[in-house]
Amino acid sequence: MVPETQYARSGAVSIAYQVLGDGPTDLVFVPGFVSNLELGWDWPPLAAFYGALASFARLILFDKRGTGLSDRVKEMPTLKERMEDIRAVMDAAGCERAAVVGVSEGAPLSIAFAVSSPERVLSLVLYAPLARATRAPDYPWAEPAEWWEQVVERFERSWGSPEYMRADVAWRAPSAAADEMFGRWWASYRRLGASPGAAADLARMNARIDVRELLPRVSVPTLVLARAGDRVVAVEHARFVAERIPGASYLELPGEDHLPFVGDATAIVRAIATALSAPAEDVDVEREIAAYVSDEPPEEEAVSVLTAGELEVLRWVARGYSNAEIATALYVAESTVRKHLQNAYRKLGVPSRTGAVAKLWPSQRPVRRSTGG
C-alpha cells in the first residue's frame, strides 16, 4: 500500500510528506534535486529502496518546497526556509529527533539543519554530498560557473524532452541507460517533480551552495557515503566532507550510478542501517522489489499479443492508477488510454482491468493506492 500523502504547514507553504514503517528510530529522508512522493512508488526499485529503509526505521519522506506535491514558490527559497520545512515535517509527523539522510543536493541542507538544530538530529548520513557547488581555487573539483549557466539554459529550453532525459539517465544512472521502462518513468518523475522554470530556479539556487564553514560545526555522529565512479558528484566532494566533519566515518562503494536506488542499492541501505545500529544483514533491496507486481515479468503468452503501449498502460493499471492518472503520467489523452485498454481486453479475452492484470501477472495482486483523506 502506497503511504498516504499528508501536508505540513511551513509558514505560508504546504510541504507534502509521507510516513511508513514502525522501526524504533525515526529517519528523515532529504531527497536530491527533484522528487515526487507518489510517482516514486511507481518504480519498483525506488519503492523497494524506501521499503528496505522502512524495514528498520520509521521513514519520513517529503518533497522539498517548489517540487513534487509540495507548493510551488514564486521566489527561490532561502536556506533558513528550507530548514524550517524539515522542522515542520518532523513536527507534523510527531517526530522529536531523527536520523537524517541527505542525498546529493539534500546533503548540504541536512548539514545546515544538523548544525542549526542539533537537538533534533540523532545522526547524519550524507550520500554524494556537495560542500560547494561552484568551482573555486581551493575547491577545484566542483563545476565552473559557466557550467551552471549552461544547465539553467538547458533546463529552460529542453527540460523533460526525450533528448534531455536520455542524456540525464546516462549521466545519473548509467547502469540503467538501456532500460526503456526506467527512461519513461524517469521522464515522468522529473516532469511531475518540477516545471522547466522551477528546475532552472533550483539549478540557480544549487550553484550557490557552500556549506564548507559549517562542516567543523557538525556535532552529531556522521556517515559519509559515496560511489567511486559517480559522474554527477565527484567522489572528491564526499572525501572533503568526511575529512572536515569531526569524527565522521567514510564509506566509498564501487559503482557509477548517482541515484542511490540504482545499482547496488542494498549496499547503501545496509550502510544506513549500520549507522542507525539496526540489523543490516537481512536488508535486501532486490528481495523487496519482488513484492511489486510491475517488476514481475508478465506471462509471455499473454504479452505476445499486446503492443508496447497496451502493455505499458496495463502496468500502470496494475499499480492501481485510474485512466485519468495514467493519461497524465504518460502525457497522452485519456481516450488513448481507454483505446489501449479496450484493445488489450479483446486480445486477452477478458472483460475488465482486473482480468487483464490477472492474465498478465497471475501470481500477484494489483497494488491498491491510498488516496489520502
Angle, CA 91 vertex, CA 31 and CA 47 arms, to 5°:
35
Sign of the torsion formed by the C-alpha atoms of 88, 42, 274 and 125: negative
Residue in 228, 224, 221, 219 with CA at minimum distance from that of residue 242: 224
Residue 311 in 3-state DSSP? helix
pLDDT tier at 297 (50, 70, 90 boundaries)? low
Cell (9 digits) for 151 = 544547465
Q: Which pLDDT score is estimated for 372?
A: 39
Q: Which pLDDT score is estimated for 292?
A: 57
Please return the burial class of 119, using the count of CB atoms within 10 Å of its CB with bins 0-12, 13-18 and 19+.
Answer: exposed
Q: Across all residues in the chain, what is the average pLDDT? A: 90
pLDDT score of 371 more than 50? no
Residue 8's contacts (CB-CB under 8 Å, 6 or more residues apart) are 14, 15, 17, 62, 85, 88, 89, 91, 92, 93
- Give the Cα separation of 133 and 234 in Å (integer): 11
pLDDT score of 296 more than 70? no
Cell (9 digits) for 169 = 539517465
**pLDDT tens across 71-118, in order?**
998 888 899 999 999 999 999 999 999 999 999 999 999 999 999 999
- Is the pTM for the entire model greater than 0.85? no
Asked if 148 and 207 count as a contact pair (C-beta separation under 8 A), the reply is yes
**pLDDT tens across 137-181, in order?**
999 999 999 999 999 999 999 998 888 899 999 999 999 999 888
Cell (9 digits) for 141 = 573539483
DSSP for 243-279, please give it.
HHSTT-EEEEE-----STTSSSHHHHHHHHHHHTT--
- Give the Cα separation of 125 and 117 in Å (integer): 16
Q: Domains in the chain, ordered, with CATH? A: 6-141+206-289 (3.40.50.1820), 295-360 (1.10.10.10)
Q: Which pLDDT score is estimated for 184?
A: 84
Residue where the block lists cell 479496450: 342
Q: Which pLDDT score is estimated for 263?
A: 94
**pLDDT tens across 182-241, in order?**
888 899 899 999 999 999 999 999 999 999 999 999 999 999 999 999 999 999 999 999
Asked if 359 and 353 count as a contact pair (C-beta separation under 8 A), the reply is no
In one-letter notation, the amino acid at residue 358 is: A
- Give the Cα separation of 206 and 208 in Å (integer): 5
Residue 17's contacts (CB-CB under 8 Å, 6 or more residues apart) are 5, 6, 7, 8, 37, 60, 61, 62, 63, 89, 92, 93
Asked if 256 and 175 count as a contact pair (C-beta separation under 8 A), the reply is yes
pLDDT tier at 1 (50, 70, 90 boundaries)? low
Q: Which pLDDT score is estimated for 364?
A: 57
Asked if 80 and 113 count as a contact pair (C-beta separation under 8 A), the reply is no
- Give the Cα separation of 35 and 30 in Å (integer): 10
Angle, CA 13 vertex, CA 67 and CA 192 arms, to 5°:
20
Q: Which pLDDT score is estimated for 294?
A: 46
Residue 32 in 3-state DSSP? coil
3-state helix, strand, coil in the chain (%, to 5): 45, 15, 40
346 compared with 228, residue with greater pLDDT? 228
